[in-house]
Structure 1
Amino acid sequence: MDVSQEAPKFPEWPQFDDAERVALGRALEQGQWWRMGGGEVSAFEREFAEYHGSEHALAVTNGTHALELALQVLGVGPGTEVIVPAFTFISSSQAAQRLGAVAVPVDIDPGTLCLDPAAVEKAVGPRTAAIMPVHMAGHVADMDALEKLSADSGVPIVQDAAHAHGARWRGRRVGEFGSVAAFSFQNGKLMTAGEGGAVTFPEQGLYDEAFLRHSCGRPPTDRGYFHQTSGSNFRMNEFSAAVLRAQLARLDSQIETREQRAPLLSGLLSGIDGVEVQTRDERADRNPHYMMMFRVPGITEQRRNRLVDALIERGLPAFAAFRAIYRCPGFWETGAPQETVDEMAARCPVTEAVYTDTVWLHHRTLLGTEHQMHRIAEIVSDTLGSL
């Protein structure tokens, strides 16, 4: 293969055009730049909730705060436990730990890389206050099994949907499962304002409490500083919301393109000796493809990292996979189970392999041309062969 060819020029990210420019001007000219006086945040919440099939959405400062707020309104706090995937960005566990709860990591499915329901079932105990599936790379976790487990145990689900804007499972959108879901709008996400987050709620009571807690315990009409609950300031500003309204408007077309490109690239990568691509459960009938993830089973972590560096040098926006959360020093600072790293590793064998042998490509690659999908596969194949 001729690797001397010019590196692919993928679409830039974030994407923006006059829609964002007009939106920012609209927010600027309204004269009120915070949510209590302006209209952009409230409008975005209505549009985002409707898009995801939810009764309510609350815009917040970032995706980590979205998770923390979602857990808090469900009663997570000291003396409770939250089941999280061992393979995820560490916000999933830290949101619980910041509330004084214990985060309990469990293993993932080796194909979809989402939370393994069988592992969850073994971990549910008397102190379990929430189960947090992460819709990894846009692939919805097995919500059939998890919803049954939630119903049988009485433990609520909090969906970490940071990768899953616009995703569906058997025709159901993320907001249609009857559980709380948290989203992120960080710079690399499928829609972004640089930072930001949102929580969708299936009923009014949870939304009302979340609103209080995201605004220092203060009702929206309060003029006398009657702070009804404890809380913090997680409010989104008007400029971010204005940008996100424009981002949401083009999300469908971007997902359509990625859904067209992903099967092609997945097939090409799967044809490379030693490469295994994240699988897709056909019940996940819409995947927005936050990442194109592939494994190289048997590769060492150091060699995987050299692979990532080499792919970047050849023009691919490549990244190493998330580290197992129990192998991060920050996980052990507070709210960790009474287990050693080795004990957690022994009960999370899939995570142990995946975090060392997985590479992901940024979703902007899937906004490229069909020719570029072939070029990606050529680069991956040649680079692997030359390590």
Structure 2
Amino acid sequence: MSADRHPAPDFPAWPQYDAAEREGLIRALEQGQWWRIGGSEVDSFEREFADYHGAERALAVTNGTHALELALQVLGVSHGTEVIVPAFTFISSSQAAQRLGAVAVPVDVDPETYCLDVAAAAEAVTPRTRAIMPVHMAGHFADMDALDKLSADTGVPVIQDAAHAHGAQWRGRRAGALGSIAAFSFQNGKLMTAGEGGAVTFPDNASYEEAFLRHSCGRPPTDRKYFHQTSGSNFRLNEFSASVLRAQLGRLDEQIAVREQRSAVLRRLLAEIPGVVPQGRDERVDRMPHYMAMFQVPGLGEQRRDALVDDLIARGLPAFVAFRAIYRSDGFWETGAPDTTVGDLARRNPVTEALTADGIWLHHRTLLAGEQQIHDIAQILTDALAAL
């Protein structure tokens, strides 16, 4: 270690687990039915997850990408339709629509919150638009008031990509209580995890019933004669994963409380570092779970940003480059891409272009550390920027 480097902070591990997960796995094992149709863990988790998020119903599925795909299908997204998505997001947001034959239409994001720019979304609505998909980036809600008005004005439903937003609150209401379908992820890095998994929350029972059929190959749970009522696929979650997720949900509130406290300190410290701009926060978000601690170093450029992230990792910080604009990946253009070019989309999405080049995030496990470690993060970033 060079003389100018401090010892690496000791951050909590992720995923976290204890006896609750062990007991749940044994409970699932010993019930004798490991499939959701015969077991009880998935059913119990769905009830608990729906109640926690203020939703009428919840459906557990195989992963977050499938959650989006299923939700879009319930909303009538299919070949020839369009889905408005943020240009700055993980590519599953667009691919879920593209896999259904729809065209994904990327629009820019807000420079403060990194969430969907509602004015840009409004300009992108056409007669073919079937859904508007805000992404609650890093656990920060998109402007749901403005999106609800846009939906009412245009007749286009909203589907929330809430993969980062477990337990988040917009003016006192969680994603399931906002009147629109929301899709969640339980992939290994998410705020709740079983390695993989996902869930969809529904504001009404009819949407849930259709989704249940489609997530189980179009087959009702009581069918014994193979009468498949709709098209669909096998998106069913297994009993073992559900038992783990029940335990993960049980400790989520405590973890969010710690991350809220630590994030307030970290944002203040980051803002004091010359050239560093932390993700902003709308005051209407009265509870943010902080999937990641995000910030920008405007003007740094992608090559130097990448070098900075490498140095932060070498100094002991679990740092990552921010998402790349979805239209700057070859996979976006394989199917369901708009009739335009990368250059044209780049001109229309300047905030996304900047985040692609100078955005950085830190794993949310850093926000579960002690306050001294939060100060260490700021010092390490200050030292790394000076070295750069």
TM-score by length of 1: 0.99
8 Å Cα contact 1:85-1:114 kept in structure 2: yes
Q: CA deviation at 1:300?
A: 1.2
| 1:125-165 per-position Cα deviation (integer Å, ceiling 9, x unaligned) | 10000000000000000001000000110000000000000
The CA distance in 2 between the partners of 1:300 and 1:87, in whole Å, is: 16
The CA distance in 1 between the partners of 2:204 and 2:3, in whole Å, is: 57
The CA distance in 1 between the partners of 2:235 and 2:335, in whole Å, is: 22
1:331 counterpart residue number: 332
Structure 1 letter corresponding to 2:274: D
Structure 2 letter corresponding to 1:305: D
The CA distance in 1 between the partners of 2:181 and 2:231, in whole Å, is: 20
Structure 2 letter corresponding to 1:367: L
1:114 counterpart residue number: 115
What SS does structure 1 have at the residue aligned with 2:373?
Answer: helix
Q: CA deviation at 1:189?
A: 0.1
- Runs of 5+ unmatched residues, structure 2: none
| 1:102-140 per-position Cα deviation (integer Å, ceiling 9, x unaligned) | 000000000000000010010011000000000000000
1:174 counterpart residue number: 175
Runs of 4+ in structure 1 off by over 4 angstroms are none
1:96 counterpart residue number: 97
1:13 counterpart residue number: 14
The CA distance in 1 between the partners of 2:119 and 2:301, in whole Å, is: 28
The CA distance in 1 between the partners of 2:382 and 2:336, in whole Å, is: 42
Q: Percent identity?
A: 74
The CA distance in 2 between the partners of 1:161 and 1:291, in whole Å, is: 14
The CA distance in 2 between the partners of 1:328 and 1:369, in whole Å, is: 38
Q: CA deviation at 1:6?
A: 1.5
Structure 2 letter corresponding to 1:228: Q
Closer, same or farther in 2 for the Cα pair 1:271/1:2, shift >3 Å? Answer: farther
Q: CA deviation at 1:227?
A: 0.5
Structure 2 letter corresponding to 1:262: S
Q: CA deviation at 1:355?
A: 1.0
1:74 equivalenced with 2:71 (yes/no): no
The CA distance in 2 between the partners of 1:22 and 1:248, in whole Å, is: 14
Q: CA deviation at 1:3?
A: 4.6
The CA distance in 2 between the partners of 1:116 and 1:187, in whole Å, is: 28
1:254 counterpart residue number: 255
1:60 counterpart residue number: 61
The CA distance in 2 between the partners of 1:232 and 1:384, in whole Å, is: 49
Structure 1 letter corresponding to 2:66: H
Structure 2 letter corresponding to 1:260: Q
The CA distance in 2 between the partners of 1:102 and 1:254, in whole Å, is: 38
2:295 counterpart residue number: 294
Structure 1 letter corresponding to 2:51: E
The CA distance in 2 between the partners of 1:60 and 1:3, in whole Å, is: 48
Q: CA deviation at 1:297?
A: 0.3
- Runs of 5+ unmatched residues, structure 1: none
- Cα-Cα RMSD: 0.9
1:209 equivalenced with 2:189 (yes/no): no
2:313 counterpart residue number: 312
The CA distance in 2 between the partners of 1:339 and 1:86, in whole Å, is: 14
1:277 equivalenced with 2:299 (yes/no): no
TM-score by length of 2: 0.99
| 1:58-107 per-position Cα deviation (integer Å, ceiling 9, x unaligned) | 00000000000000000000110000000000000000000000000000
2:144 counterpart residue number: 143
Q: CA deviation at 1:4?
A: 2.9
Q: CA deviation at 1:377?
A: 0.1
What SS does structure 1 have at the residue aligned with 2:287?
Answer: coil
The CA distance in 2 between the partners of 1:142 and 1:5, in whole Å, is: 40
Question: How many residues end up aligned between the 2 structures?
Answer: 387
1:164 counterpart residue number: 165
What SS does structure 2 have at the residue aligned with 1:12?
Answer: coil
What SS does structure 2 have at the residue aligned with 1:355?
Answer: helix
1:321 counterpart residue number: 322
What SS does structure 2 have at the residue aligned with 1:378?
Answer: helix
8 Å Cα contact 2:322-2:359 kept in structure 1: yes
The CA distance in 1 between the partners of 2:60 and 2:307, in whole Å, is: 39
2:370 counterpart residue number: 369
1:267 equivalenced with 2:298 (yes/no): no
1:132 counterpart residue number: 133
| 1:337-365 per-position Cα deviation (integer Å, ceiling 9, x unaligned) | 00111111111011011111010000000
1:220 counterpart residue number: 221
8 Å Cα contact 1:3-1:379 kept in structure 2: no
8 Å Cα contact 1:28-1:239 kept in structure 2: yes
| 1:168-208 per-position Cα deviation (integer Å, ceiling 9, x unaligned) | 00111100111000000000000000000000001111100
What SS does structure 2 have at the residue aligned with 1:285?
Answer: strand
1:153 counterpart residue number: 154
What SS does structure 2 have at the residue aligned with 1:44?
Answer: helix
| 1:220-256 per-position Cα deviation (integer Å, ceiling 9, x unaligned) | 1111111111100000000000000000000000000
8 Å Cα contact 1:83-1:104 kept in structure 2: yes
8 Å Cα contact 2:5-2:315 kept in structure 1: no
The CA distance in 1 between the partners of 2:369 and 2:162, in whole Å, is: 24
| 1:285-335 per-position Cα deviation (integer Å, ceiling 9, x unaligned) | 110000000100001101100111100001100000000000000000000
2:184 counterpart residue number: 183
The CA distance in 1 between the partners of 2:358 and 2:297, in whole Å, is: 5
Q: CA deviation at 1:5?
A: 2.4
